[in-house]
Amino acid sequence: MTERSTLPVAVLASGRGSNLQALIRARDAGLPIDLRLVASDRAEAPALRHAEAAGIATLALDPAGYATRRDYDLELFRRVAESGAKLLVLAGFMRILDADAVNPWRGRMINVHPSLLPKYRGLHTHRRALEAGDAEHGASVHFVSPELDGGPVIAQARIDVRPDDTETTLAERLLPLEHRLLPAAVALIASGRLHLGERGIVFDDVPLTSPLRLEDACLKPA
């Protein structure tokens, strides 16, 4: 696999890094990406340790060292750009981002979120799905906009909610699907089959009217 054939990718993560690990496994299995940098707002984030073990450059940038959120975000994104990344993946990055940092990355930044967006933006998605009595729950990968968990939705994975589900069991059953969903979405972007155009997402040269759905490890039109 040559450098020319791979998509340079950076990842932002605040926590355990399980979706980062899924990307690393997918890369090692042939996903044509070059993981240039894993950055975090927490020096102790396990995601950074996973990156180091995989030989990926890391960056821990402490928000406390900056006067404003905007100052921090602009510096973080400047460092990401220096890595040469062409796609930025938010994989459990637990910060609201400033619009001035986000807007230059329009169409080049994606996020994985544990809900069927636009439902349950923000935190505690599993609890909220259970409290609402939802029959179905899931995860979404979307292009990032300045709005919290906003931006066009690329693809979703869905599971049935069981009568005896708790937050813990629901999260445990959904996580393996997230680990297939994110690499599958990245694969479509890396191959050039999917991109964000002026009027929305384009998949195989056709405007996408609803999110793709995960079936096994593949994304297909709903």
Active site residues: 113
Sign of CA dihedral 43, 44, 50, 52: positive
Residues 121-131 as b/e (b if ≥16 CB within 10 A, e otherwise) read: eeeebbebbbe
Instruction: Give the neighbor-by-neighbor strand order of the sheet with 109-113.
Output: 58-60, 33-40, 7-12, 87-90, 109-113, 136-143, 153-160, 212-215, 218-220
Helices (H), the chain: 18-28, 46-53, 69-82, 99-102, 125-131, 167-190
Largest CA distance in the chain: 50
DSSP class of residue 14 equals S
Please say whether the beta carbons of 193 and 184 come within 8 A: no
Q: Which residues are within 8 A (CB) of 132 and not within 5 positions of it... i.e. 6 or more apart? A: none
Q: Quick one: how far is CA 148 from the chain centroid?
A: 13
CA distance 127 to 31: 33
DSSP class of residue 147 equals S
